[in-house]
């Protein structure tokens, strides 16, 4: 590989997130604007290993900025965890004369990027996951849209919860991270928010429901982050101990779909452009990040470090407001 960047490739990896298409579009068009040849790699690292490259044109990314999902498709590649898979990925890039790779994805994608960087591939990562759990950036692409999706869904659930005087336990995604539950829970006024970062006692949750009940409040929404445990088990326990009529809703993959919010589409576009500029500047092993309301670049290794502490103050405020 030569030092000057002439050819780049872009892929999306791990769980899809609304805004990934806007990021792809930005990488492709910014690259073409600067006279680069740009390849799109289909199906993440899986497609990289198996040579699924497609040369991208301006028109190839038309009409996608506002669409959810990823037009390049994505995968969770097991082969990328093997030395053979990694060697094949590097060989595919060299065969096509690709000087640098832009990886859009979550933490698993960054681990793949790290192995390629260790073999001399120039890399810039763009954080794309609804979980907002990547160290080094205040926001990941897709988080804002997912939170809005949860808020919209919960407001519909609240209609039926009110009508039937029921308690709803709503499970949201986030893997081991409670950020979606916290932000959505605060935004929709959930009576309780249960997250993996903060231990809780079900008796306290029940006492709160009972206090509300005594004030004449006959319905409640509890937001549960999936990392806490099974919604069905916790919901059953809640029903048994409290006596309140309880229903469980698991929002699931609904949270990963839908058109990106303006915040996500703008963030993704800014990060895509920044990734290309970073490579043209001769920098490698970097990630784009949103820090203090600005898109910046940071060393990729920041993303492998510890996660920033959970926003305990906001969590406590949510508890105080839903008393
Ligand atoms: O990382 C994004 C995410 O949606 C997590 O919130 C969730 O735990 C996981 O992916 C689900 O993965 P899959 O789509 O492979 O079931």
Task: Give pLDDT tens digits along the chain (323 positions).
Answer: 447 999 999 999 999 999 999 999 999 999 999 999 999 999 999 999 999 999 999 999 999 999 999 999 999 999 999 999 999 999 999 999 999 999 999 988 998 999 999 999 999 999 999 999 999 999 999 999 999 999 999 999 999 999 999 999 999 999 999 999 999 999 999 999 999 999 999 999 999 999 999 999 989 999 999 999 999 999 999 999 999 999 999 999 999 999 999 999 999 999 999 999 999 999 999 999 999 999 999 999 999 899 889 999 999 999 999 97
Same domain, 151 and 216: yes
In a domain, 312, yes or no: no
Counting from 1 in the atom list of ligand 1, the atom nearest the Cα of 226 is 8
At 171-230, the pLDDT tens digits run 999 999 999 999 999 999 999 999 999 999 999 999 999 999 999 998 999 999 999 999
Same domain, 200 and 226: yes
Q: Report CA(131)–ligand 1 centroid distance (Å).
A: 8
Cβ count near 255 (within 10 Å): 25
Q: Would you state the pLDDT for residue 131?
A: 97
Could you tell me if 154 and 138 are in contact, meaning their C-beta atoms sit under 8 angstroms apart? no
Q: Any bridge partners for residue 54, and if so which? A: 40
Could you tell me if 141 and 127 are in contact, meaning their C-beta atoms sit under 8 angstroms apart? yes
Could you tell me if 322 and 192 are in contact, meaning their C-beta atoms sit under 8 angstroms apart? yes
Same domain, 243 and 264: no
Q: Would you state the pLDDT for residue 108?
A: 86
In a domain, 310, yes or no: no
Q: How far is CA 228 from CA 97, 174, 198, 244, 309, in A?
A: 46, 10, 9, 21, 17
Could you tell me if 12 and 136 are in contact, meaning their C-beta atoms sit under 8 angstroms apart? no
Is 131 among the catalytic positions?
A: yes
In a domain, 152, yes or no: yes
Q: Report CA(177)–ligand 1 centroid distance (Å).
A: 11
Of 256, 290, 316, the position where a domain reaches its end is: 256
Give the torsion through C-alpha atoms of 314, 139, 301, 306, to 10 deg: 20
In a domain, 156, yes or no: yes
Given ligand 1 and candidates 12, 15, 16, 195, which is best to mutate, with the most ligand atoms within 8 Å of its CB? 15
Q: Which of 16, 131, 133, 144 is catalytic?
A: 131
Given ligand 1 and candidates 107, 110, 175, which is best to mutate, with the most ligand atoms within 8 Å of its CB? 175
Separation CA 265–CA 233 (nearest Å): 37
Counting from 1 in the atom list of ligand 1, the atom nearest the Cα of 76 is 15
Same domain, 138 and 197: no
Same domain, 155 and 102: no
In a domain, 313, yes or no: no
- SS3 helix, strand, coil % of the chain, rounded to 5? 45, 20, 35
Q: Which residues line ligand 1 (CB under 6 A)?
A: 15, 76, 106, 129-131, 173-175, 226, 256
Which CATH number characterizes residue 42's domain? Answer: 3.40.50.450
In a domain, 96, yes or no: yes
Q: How far is CA 215 from CA 88, 209, 218, in A?
A: 65, 10, 9
Q: Would you state the pLDDT for residue 225?
A: 98
Q: pTM of the predicted model, to two decimals?
A: 0.97
Q: Which residue's CA lies nearest to atom 12 of ligand 1? A: 15
Q: Would you state the pLDDT for residue 107?
A: 85
Same domain, 192 and 138: no
Cβ count near 182 (within 10 Å): 27
Same domain, 88 and 133: yes
Q: Report CA(15)–ligand 1 centroid distance (Å).
A: 6
Which CATH number characterizes residue 240's domain? Answer: 3.40.50.460
Sequence-ordered list of residues with C-beta below 8 angstroms from that of 33, at least 6 positions apart, any chain: none
Q: Which residue's CA lies nearest to atom 14 of ligand 1? A: 15
In a domain, 163, yes or no: yes
In a domain, 110, yes or no: yes
Q: Which residue's CA lies nearest to atom 3 of ligand 1? A: 15
Same domain, 100 and 183: no
Q: What range defines the domain where residue 18 resides?
A: 2-142+260-304
Same domain, 134 and 282: yes
Q: How far is CA 250 from CA 23, 28, 153, 165, 235, in A?
A: 29, 36, 11, 19, 11
Separation CA 320–CA 264 (nearest Å): 29
Query: What's the structural domain count of the chain?
Result: 2
Structure tokens at 137: 């950036």
């Amino acid at each position: 590989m030569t030092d000057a960047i002439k050819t780049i490739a872009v892929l999306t990896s791990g769980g899809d997130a609304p805004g990934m298409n806007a990021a792809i579009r930005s990488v492709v068009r910014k690259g073409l604007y600067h006279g680069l040849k740009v390849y799109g790699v289909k199906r993440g690292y899986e497609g990289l290993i198996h040579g699924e490259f497609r040369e991208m044109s301006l028109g190839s990314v038309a009409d996608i900025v506002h669409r959810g999902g990823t037009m390049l498709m994505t995968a969770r590649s097991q082969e990328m965890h093997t030395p053979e898979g990694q060697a094949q990925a590097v060989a595919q890039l060299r065969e096509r004369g690709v000087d640098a790779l832009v990886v859009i994805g979550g933490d698993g994608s960054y681990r793949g990027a790290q192995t390629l960087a260790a073999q001399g591939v120039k890399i810039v990562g763009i954080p794309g996951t609804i979980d907002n759990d990547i160290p080094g950036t205040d926001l990941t692409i897709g988080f804002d849209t997912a939170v809005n999706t949860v808020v919209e869904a919960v407001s519909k659930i609240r209609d039926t919860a009110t009508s039937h005087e029921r308690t709803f336990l709503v499970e949201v995604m986030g893997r081991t991270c409670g950020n979606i539950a916290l932000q959505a829970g605060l935004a929709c006024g959930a009576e309780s928010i249960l997250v993996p970062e903060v231990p809780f006692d079900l008796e306290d949750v029940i006492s709160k429901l009972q206090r509300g009940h005594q004030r004449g409040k006959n319905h409640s929404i509890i937001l549960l982050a999936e990392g806490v445990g099974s919604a069905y088990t916790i919901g059953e326990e809640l029903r048994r101990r409290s006596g309140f009529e309880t229903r469980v809703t698991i929002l699931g993959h609904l949270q990963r779909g839908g058109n990106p919010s303006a915040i996500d589409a703008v963030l993704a576009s800014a990060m895509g452009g920044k990734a290309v500029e970073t490579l043209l500047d001769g920098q490698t092993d970097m990630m784009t990040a949103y820090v203090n309301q600005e898109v910046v670049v940071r060393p990729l290794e920041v993303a492998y470090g510890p996660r920033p502490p959970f926003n305990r103050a906001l969590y406590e405020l949510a508890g105080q407001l839903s008393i």
